[in-house]
């Protein structure tokens, strides 16, 4: 079991939970006990080890957009059940439960907002909704966000957080990768800037489509990124995974990220890039 | 017959064997002898029975049985199709950056004299070949090799024929280090921008992003018994029931067969297979596929590059199912 124990240190996301309730919060990474108010003030970054807690789509709106204001579009889009998929739960029940839990209709919020006065087409994913998975609704909302950027000739900013394509919608989820990437070809040819922001985790179908197609790609520190999940890789190759494998730092080192941005600098960095690309 | 026979194929092979035995016996009889006539009658009756049996078995295959046929050890794979459909194949190698991925093959070839670029995953049949081809599991350099060849074709105005057959993009350390996700994502965008007709053919296994990574085109054809899905049945079963042995159930749940994908409007056409599957008559299969590819190319070659690209984007733009509350 030695290899199993070792490899676990490399897995940054698996043990991470959504933000817990209570006055004191324990850091998932270094174990430091932190006063909740202080953590909130620090944008949910551990003051001791700089660990970035997972935050909600709403938190990113507040962080990135002027006055946290978003004119939301397409909030009425909802999933259907094209495969009549059932595992431990029926898919429609799983959707309803996630909707209740998150107050969102699906795993992404899209609209128009401003960043330091500059209008952008903005999309932010929410890992709390079935692991931020991309089914037809996420794909359609990303597609429309791209089209809004095209029509209004404004930059596109997408903050990703996703385990990949949504299994419950089968092949239709896979096709959302092609759909969003095809529209990004349009954006690319029209020289409209696209800034892709990767947060913990961004993997599989989302990473292998729009998240990797930014003109500039920014990641938060120590996020789990990649195509295949670490467990699948381990089962396939039957070897230890190197420490820090598939982290933001790993992908920066291998040349797949433009920069890693601390959450405190994220708005400034996006805003500057958008300015340079305009 | 060489190689393994699937459970549900057994009755057919057994009957075939009996017919062949009788035929051999008949060869040793005088044509007009009583025994000879008797044998001829019996053979004819058995052949009729064989037709009925094959019809019966293959007309109601479960999704899992189709997956098994798609993975049949004797199923024709990419290089078989290339040699059966094309002449003058010139294989081209390498991504001009890192390596030549043996799991992805490609090059110029002629189909009924028409020059095309053919690319696709190659799985390999015996153990040695399978290892050499990494079981058709592509690395990033494979996707980059495919893209390089497709862009070459686009620049020199040759249509692209893609043959998809992969159990998935390879999940490994090197694959991540060299940007598996980036390679696939880039292909999705850049295949959209190709200025020549692109015909995608799912000939065997179409596993997830590994398949889609060379899967964007103007027409998507799928062989009758191929499968194409967001995740392999084994992967799905491992996630849902923590037991990859439940792959048959997962195959049903995922709706991964050609008729399913036709209904979900993901593919344009089902390419019929010879009775019993592509492996029963690879030559006939290749002819059927070639005819459909050439007919699609004839149609698409009437379009200007920007029309092709517009239609390609529009084709994928409408995929997916959702409701807009309050607007029904």
**Stretch B118-137: mean pLDDT, rounded?**
97
State chain B's mean pLDDT as an integer.
94
A6 pLDDT exceeds 70?
Answer: no
State the pLDDT at residue B272: 97
- For the ranges A20-29, A43-52, A126-135, B138-147, the lowest mean pLDDT is seen at A20-29
Confidence of residue A4 (pLDDT cuts 50, 70, 90): very low
Q: Which residue of A has its CA nearest to B313?
A: A182
pLDDT digits (tens, 9 = 90+) for A207-216: 999 999 999 9
Percent of chain B surpassing pLDDT 70: 98
Contact A213 B186 (CB under 8 A): yes
State the pLDDT at residue A13: 44
pLDDT digits (tens, 9 = 90+) for B91-107: 999 999 999 999 999 99
The DSSP string of chain A is -HHHHHHHHH--STT--SPPPSSEEE-TTT--EEEHHHHHHTTSB-TTT--B----HHHHHHHHSGGG-EEEE-TTEEE--TT--BSSSBHHHHHHHHHHHHS-SSSEEEEEEEETTEEEEEEEE-TTTGGG-B-HHHHHHHHHHHHHHHHHT--EEEEEEESSB-GGGHHHHHHHHHHHHHHHHHHHHTT--EEEEEEEEEEHHHHTTGGG--SEEEE-TT-BEESS-HHHHHHHH-SPPPTTTTBHHHHHHTT--SEE--GGGHHHHHHHHHHHH-
B176 near A CB under 8 A: yes
Name the residue among B293, B94, B314, B59 with its Cα closest to residue B198: B293
Residue A182 Cα distances to A127, A187, A213, B90, angstroms:
24, 9, 11, 30
Shortest Cα–Cα distance, B273 to chain A (Å): 22
What is the ipTM, given to two decimal places?
0.94
Residues of A whose CB is below 8 A from B171: 227-229, 232-233, 236-237
Domain boundaries, chain A: 55-277
**DSSP H or E stretch at residue B99:** none
Shortest Cα–Cα distance, B311 to chain A (Å): 11
pLDDT digits (tens, 9 = 90+) for B7-43: 898 999 999 999 999 988 888 877 678 888 888 899 9
Interface A–B counts its CB contacts (< 8 A) at: 202
- B79: number of Cβ within 10 Å: 20
Residues of A whose CB is below 8 A from B235: 232
Q: How far apart are CA B240 and CA B237, in angstroms?
A: 5
Strand-pair partners of A114: A119
Contact B313 A76 (CB under 8 A): no
A8 pLDDT exceeds 50?
Answer: no
Query: At a CB cut-off of 8 Å and minimum separation 6, what does A173 contact?
Result: A133, A134, A135, A136, A139, A165, A166, A167, A205, B230
pLDDT digits (tens, 9 = 90+) for B253-304: 999 999 999 999 999 999 999 988 999 999 999 999 999 999 999 999 999 9
Q: How far apart are CA B38 and CA A264, in angstroms?
A: 91
Residues of A whose CB is below 8 A from B229: 170-171, 174
Contact B188 A178 (CB under 8 A): yes
Shortest Cα–Cα distance, B233 to chain A (Å): 11
pLDDT digits (tens, 9 = 90+) for B175-188: 999 999 999 999 99
B308 near A CB under 8 A: no
Name the residue among B82, B53, B42, B6 with its Cα closest to residue B286: B82
Q: Which residue of B has its CA nearest to A183?
A: B313
Nearest by CB to B320, from A83, A136, A208: name it: A136
Residues of B whose CB is below 8 A from A242: 173
Nearest by CB to B319, from A77, A172, A188: name it: A172
State the pLDDT at residue A7: 41
Terminal Cα-to-Cα distance of chain A (whole angstroms): 53
pLDDT digits (tens, 9 = 90+) for A171-186: 999 999 999 999 999 9
State the pLDDT at residue A21: 72
Contact A176 B231 (CB under 8 A): no
State the pLDDT at residue A15: 45
- B44: number of Cβ within 10 Å: 11
Query: Could you tell me if residue B179 is left (phi over 0), alpha (psi between -120 and 50 degrees) or otherwise beta?
Result: left
Nearest by CB to A175, from B213, B319, B323: name it: B319
- Indicate the pairing of strand B114-121 with strand B104-111: antiparallel
Contact A182 B216 (CB under 8 A): yes
Nearest by CB to B180, from A76, A213, A227: name it: A227
pLDDT digits (tens, 9 = 90+) for B57-69: 888 899 999 999 9
State the pLDDT at residue B3: 62
Residue A229 Cα distances to A28, A167, B46, B180, angstroms:
20, 15, 53, 12
A184 near B CB under 8 A: yes
Name the residue among A59, A50, A4, A60 with its Cα closest to residue A27: A50
pLDDT digits (tens, 9 = 90+) for A143-202: 999 999 999 999 999 999 999 999 999 999 999 999 999 999 999 999 999 999 999 999
**Stretch B114-141: mean pLDDT, rounded?**
97
Nearest by CB to B176, from A177, A182, A227: name it: A227
- A120: number of Cβ within 10 Å: 25
pLDDT digits (tens, 9 = 90+) for A59-90: 999 999 999 999 999 999 999 999 999 888 99
Nearest by CB to B322, from A78, A181, A246: name it: A78
Shortest Cα–Cα distance, A220 to chain B (Å): 18
Name the residue among B165, B149, B157, B152 with its Cα closest to residue B94: B149
Residue B128 burial by Cβ neighbours in a 10 Å radius (0-12, 13-18, 19+): exposed
Residue B125, SS3?
A: coil
Q: How far apart are CA A166 and CA B320, in angstroms?
A: 12
State the pLDDT at residue B327: 53
**Stretch B151-164: mean pLDDT, rounded?**
98
- For the ranges A270-274, B31-35, B48-52, the lowest mean pLDDT is seen at B31-35
> Which residues in chain B (214-253) have CB-CB distances under 8 A to chain A?
215-216, 228-231, 235-236, 239-241, 253
Size of chain A in residues: 278
Residue B231, SS3?
A: coil
Quick one: DSSP state of residue B260? H
Q: What is the CATH number of domain A55-277?
A: 3.90.226.10
A9 pLDDT exceeds 50?
Answer: no
Confidence of residue B241 (pLDDT cuts 50, 70, 90): confident
State chain A's mean pLDDT as an integer.
93
Cβ(A215)–Cβ(A195) under 8 Å?
A: yes
């Amino acid at each position: 079991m030695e290899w199993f124990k070792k490899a676990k240190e490399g897995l940054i996301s698996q043990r991470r939970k959504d933000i817990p309730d209570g006055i004191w919060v324990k850091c998932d990474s270094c174990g430091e006990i932190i006063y909740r108010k202080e953590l909130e003030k620090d944008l949910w970054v551990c003051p001791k080890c700089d660990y970035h807690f997972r935050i909600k789509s709403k938190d990113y709106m507040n962080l990135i957009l002027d006055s946290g204001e978003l004119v939301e579009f397409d909030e009425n889009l909802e999933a259907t059940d094209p495969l009549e998929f059932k595992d431990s739960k029926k898919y429609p029940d799983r959707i309803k439960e996630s909707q209740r839990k998150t107050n969102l209709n699906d795993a992404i919020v899209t609209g128009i907002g401003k960043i330091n006065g500059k209008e952008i087409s903005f999309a932010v994913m929410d890992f709390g909704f079935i692991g931020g998975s991309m089914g037809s609704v996420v794909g359609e909302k990303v597609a429309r966000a791209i089209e809004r950027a095209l029509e209004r000739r404004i930059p596109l900013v997408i903050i990703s957080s996703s385990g990949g394509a949504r299994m419950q919608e089968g092949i239709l989820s896979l096709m959302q990768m092609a759909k969003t990437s095809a529209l990004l070809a349009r954006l690319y040819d029209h020289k409209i800037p696209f800034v892709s922001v990767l947060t913990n985790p961004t993997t599989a179908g989302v990473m292998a489509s729009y998240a990797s197609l930014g003109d500039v790609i920014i990641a938060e520190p120590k996020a789990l990124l990649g195509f295949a999940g670490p467990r699948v890789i381990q089962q396939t190759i039957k070897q230890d995974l190197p420490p820090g494998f598939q982290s933001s730092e790993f992908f920066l080192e291998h040349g797949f990220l433009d920069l890693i941005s601390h959450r405190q600098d994220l708005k400034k960095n996006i805003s500057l890039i958008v300015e340079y690309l305009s | 017959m060489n190689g393994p026979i699937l459970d549900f194929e057994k009755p057919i092979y057994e009957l075939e064997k009996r017919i062949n035995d009788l035929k051999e016996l008949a060869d040793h009889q005088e044509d007009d002898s009583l025994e000879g006539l008797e044998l001829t009658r019996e053979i004819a009756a058995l052949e009729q029975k064989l037709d009925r049996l094959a019809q019966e078995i293959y007309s109601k295959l479960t999704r899992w049985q189709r997956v098994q046929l798609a993975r049949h050890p004797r199923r024709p794979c990419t290089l078989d199709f290339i040699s059966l459909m094309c002449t003058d194949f010139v294989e081209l190698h390498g991504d001009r950056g890192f390596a030549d991925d043996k799991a992805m093959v490609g090059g110029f070839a002629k189909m009924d004299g028409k020059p095309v670029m053919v690319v696709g995953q190659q799985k390999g049949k015996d153990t040695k070949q399978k290892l050499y081809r990494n079981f058709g599991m592509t690395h990033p350099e494979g996707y980059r090799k495919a893209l390089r060849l497709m862009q070459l074709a686009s620049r020199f105005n040759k249509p692209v024929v893609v043959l998809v057959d992969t159990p998935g993009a390879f999940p490994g350390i090197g694959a991540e280090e060299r940007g598996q996700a980036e390679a696939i994502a880039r292909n999705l965008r850049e295949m959209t921008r190709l200025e020549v007709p692109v015909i995608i053919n799912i000939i065997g296994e179409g596993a997830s992003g590994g398949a889609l990574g060379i899967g964007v085109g103007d027409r998507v054809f799928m062989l009758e018994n191929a499968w194409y899905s967001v995740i392999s049945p084994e992967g799905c079963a491992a996630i849902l029931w923590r037991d990859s042995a439940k792959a048959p159930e997962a195959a049903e749940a995922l709706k991964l067969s050609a008729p399913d994908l036709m209904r979900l409007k993901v593919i344009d056409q089902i390419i019929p297979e010879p009775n019993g599957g592509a492996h029963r008559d690879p030559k006939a299969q290749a002819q059927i596929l070639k005819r459909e590819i050439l007919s699609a190319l004839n149609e698409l070659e009437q379009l200007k590059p920007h029309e092709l690209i517009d239609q390609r984007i529009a084709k994928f733009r409408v995929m997916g199912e959702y409701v807009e509350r309050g607007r029904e």
